[in-house]
Amino acid sequence: MPKSNMIDKLREMRKTHSSLLATNFYNYETLRGIMQAASHLGQPVILQLTKSSIDYMGLSVAVNLAKSSLEEYQVEGWLHLDHSGSYDLVHECLDAGFDSVMIDASEKSLGENIEITQRVVELAARYNANVEAELGYIAKLGQSKEKTGFTDPAEAKYFVEQTGINALAVAIGSAHGFYTQEPKLDMERLKEIQAATHIPLVLHGGSGIPGDSLKEAIKNGICKINLATEIKNIFMQTLKNSMVHNQDIDLRNVFPSAIEAVSLLVEKKLEIVKS
């Protein structure tokens, strides 16, 4: 299905105060659930892969799964590399046909973050690919959610000017993984970052954030919302529940309920983003 360049699409999202849902997939079944939802609602979607998912499926298999699924379901979509800490992996993925890449050097010093991000921006320009980077502390799986390091608007402005990135992942109170209590996003800070940077902003840790908060974040500059943990969780919980009293060894009979659960979850998230 014809699609716009992801750089242009995110700019369009910013101009119209809209957002794209970016969904991580881990195997054929989670991908199928995502695609069923996007196709049913006629909504575009970003398909994301991390290094661990690429290592699990293999780069060419994962890329071909994503691209063939977008074609089969007639969904406008893009393939994005999520949280790469490596220039070499970015290069491999761009060669493999990714539309967008994220270089994540947010845990390094500002100078180091700028340096590696500049190199990735220069590389990605040859492929006309979107580049996302991160500034601030967004707790990853296993990291403390008590620690804070929200993105500073003035530093964000400097970072964007120095690197030339297309999109910036901001730390405004979200985290990767499950939340122990309802997250409170710093909307005033988000407004300041939006005004200072003038580029599409990205919200990581979208799982578990209430719909009203997501909608408000979209109004204030969030153009891409990442969804990963909830997809893994609902797939595995549904699968476990369905197998408690089920002795069927035919995975073709066992997986469909988990695929459908993923599909319903993604539909709900797409409805929030669409509205």
Q: Which residue has the tokens 């500049």?
A: 118
Cα dihedral 22/28/30/34 (nearest 10): 50
HSE toward the beta carbon, residue 60, CA cutoff 13 A: 0
Annotated binding-site residue numbers for Zn(2+) = 83, 104, 134, 176, 204
Residue 166 one-letter amino acid? N
Q: Which runs of consecutive H residues, i.e. helices, occur in the chain?
A: 6-15, 28-41, 51-57, 59-73, 87-95, 110-125, 153-163, 187-197, 211-219, 229-243, 251-254, 256-274
Q: In whole angstroms, how large is the CA radius of gyration of the chain?
A: 18
Pick the catalytic residue: 8, 55, 82, 152? 82
- Binding-site residue set for dihydroxyacetone phosphate: 177, 205-207, 226-229
Question: Phi/psi of residue 2, each to 5°?
Answer: -60, 140
Question: Does the active-site annotation cover 55?
Answer: no
Contact indicator for 262, 220 with CB cutoff of 8 Å = no
The annotated binding site is made up of 83, 104, 134, 176-177, 204-207, 226-229
Active site residues: 82
